[in-house]
Amino acid sequence: MFMKNQIKSKNIVTTVSLLAMLTTGCNQEKTQAPAPTAIPVNITTAQQAQLIDSTEYVGTLEAIQRVNLAPEINGRIKQIAVQEGDFVNQGELIAELEPTQQEENVFAADANVQSQIAAFTQSQSELRQREGEKDSTSSQVAGLRADVSRAEANLKSALADLQRATADLELAKVNHERSTFLVNSGVLPKQDLDDKTRDLNTSKATVSAQKEAVQAARSQVQTTKESLNSALSNLKVANERIQGARANVARSKANIDQSRGNKGSIEQELIFNRIVAPVSGIVGDFKKKKVGDYLNRGETFTTITSNNQFHLNVNVPSENLNRLKIGLPVQILNEDNSAVVSGSVNYISPIVDQSNQSVNIKVTFNNNNIFKDEKYVRTRIIWQTSPGVLIPTNAVSSLGGQKFVFVAQPGESESSLMAKQIPITVGRIQGQEFQVLSGVRPGDRIITSRILDLRNNTPVTEAELTSSTK
């Protein structure tokens, strides 16, 4: 028992001694503890920058020059002059069709042209014949008019002769009455009465003859006038026939022109057996068509696409319709969110797509062998820009929903620095940086490394200084 107590007393003493030694060592360490070591950090100076208000969408590229090649005639493929994927220049031969039907149509059209030429020649001959008939009838009319004039002159002369004969008859009657009275009175011999009777009878015969002459002259005038009227009627008919013949000539000439035009059109169809590139570009696939296959008119054979210039089509939700305007900046983004192509809106659809309640916009840009037709691309529409501050995302830390940065500020000595924890308000991420809405100003020195090792007022030292202008 004594031995156990003695051993226990020794253990107590030993324990007290050890505690005393530890306490003494701790007091000495506390007294001799050195100052904290400054943490080396990277520091960047916040610069004035442009804050971008933007939205990203998926857009579709549409080649401005992309055409579907289709034959304008029916036929079998005789030759394919290029390979799928070849680059061709405008006007270069793509394929050729066998123009069997078109050649037959050309032969038929040529025969029709010759037939119309023959009809034209015949109508010209008929016109010359009608013109000859008219000339003959015109001469006949002129002669008959002269005959009418002569007949009318003869009638006038006969009437004058009849008038003279009538006057002579009246005088002969008077002389005969006087002679009869004088002879009966015995004044004149009977011979005088005989003479006066002879003269009276002669005057009567002359009047009768002149009347017959007048009647004959009148009949002649009537006959020549009837002949003249008949000739004038024939002349009218001749003129009408000439007009008809001239119309036939004009119609035949028009038929020639029409038949030649039809022939030209058919010959043009013969030219259409050659399918050529309407634009320069890359040949698409041939839709499994090969030499010997039959192509119908209008059937797509292949495509020619030029990737030199594109329309970027973006469907913007209708809630942003009031923000859309011509000239709005648009960017096509790379995988690292950098802009590959920049342009501006040059078209805004006047209607909203009912299927997805979006508005189509277009941006036209030149392609430098970067994109292919119908490719989907990430795009950014920049609604507006404003001055502000951007800081690297790796400089920002979060605590309870609050964003902070550490700003390097002067320490107790001129050469020392301290990490000051500053609460900030941030906006969107722009590239690899936060848009700072409040808390940081241009010129502040932002710590960008070893953020997890820092606390408020932690001493730091500048490992590397970088100053960038955004």
pLDDT surpasses 80 at 4: no
Please name the residues in contact with 294: beta carbons below 8 A apart, sequence gap of 6 or more.
74, 75, 76, 77
- For the ranges 62-66, 221-225, 370-374, 466-470, which has the lowest average pLDDT? 466-470
Range of weakest confidence among 9-13, 309-313, 443-447: 9-13
Conformation bin of residue 298: beta by default, left when phi > 0, alpha when psi is -120 to 50: left
Domains and CATH numbers, the chain: 35-50+387-467 (2.40.420.20), 71-98+274-299 (2.40.50.100), 102-271 (1.10.287.2610)
pTM, two decimals, is: 0.52
Let me know: does 307 contact 367? Beta carbons within 8 Å.
Answer: yes
pLDDT score, position 102? 62
Decide: 326 and 345 in contact? Cβ < 8 Å.
yes
105 vs 390, residue with greater confidence? 390
pLDDT class of 59 with cuts at 50, 70, 90 = very high
- Most confidently modeled of 109-118, 130-139, 354-363, 461-470? 354-363
Provide the pLDDT for residue 404: 96
- Does residue 370 surpass a pLDDT of 80? yes
Contact present, 154 and 217 (Cβ < 8 Å): yes
Q: How far apart are CA 81 and CA 94, in angstroms?
A: 5
User: Tell me, what's the pLDDT at 215?
Assistant: 93
Question: pLDDT band at residue 115, thresholds of 50, 70 and 90?
Answer: confident
What average pLDDT does the segment 175-181 reach? Answer: 91
How is residue 247 annotated by DSSP? Answer: H
Q: What is the pLDDT of residue 33?
A: 52
Residue 1 has pLDDT above 70, yes or no: no
User: pLDDT for 410-434, tens place per residue?
Assistant: 988 878 899 999 999 998 888 789 9
pLDDT of residue 133: 85
Question: What whole-number distance in Å separates Cα of residue 368 and Cα of residue 260?
Answer: 49
Least confident of 42-56, 96-110, 177-191: 96-110
Check residue 7 and give its pLDDT: 37
Q: How confident is the model at residue 356 (pLDDT cuts 50, 70, 90)?
A: very high
Least confident of 91-105, 128-142, 275-289: 91-105
Helix axes 100-185, 190-271, angle to 10 degrees: 170
The torsion region of residue 389 among left (phi > 0), alpha (psi -120 to 50) and beta comes to beta
* For residue 268, pLDDT beyond 70: no
**H or E segment and range at residue 232:** helix 190-271
Count of alpha carbons within 13 angstroms of residue 63, beta-carbon side: 22
Mean pLDDT for the stretch of residues 134-152? 90
How far is CA 66 from each of CA 63, 90, 186, 297, 343, rounded to the nearest angstrom?
6, 12, 140, 20, 21
**Position 114 confidence tier, pLDDT thresholds 50, 70, 90:** confident
pLDDT at 277: 92
Q: How confident is the model at residue 193 (pLDDT cuts 50, 70, 90)?
A: confident
pLDDT digits (tens, 9 = 90+) for 431-454: 789 999 999 999 999 999 999 999
Q: What is the pLDDT of residue 411?
A: 85
pLDDT averaged over the chain?
85
More confident residue, 331 or 264: 331
- The predicted pLDDT at position 467 comes to 43
Residue 13, pLDDT score:
34
CA–CA separation, 439 and 418 (whole Å): 18
Residues 364, 366, 369, 370, Cα dihedral to 10°: -50
Comparing 367 with 403, which gets the higher pLDDT? 403
Average pLDDT over residues 87-114: 81
Read off the pLDDT of each residue in 264-279 and give the average, rounded to a whole number. Answer: 79
Highest-pLDDT range among 11-15, 21-25, 72-76:
72-76
In this predicted structure, the answer to whether residue 34 has a pLDDT above a threshold of 70 is no
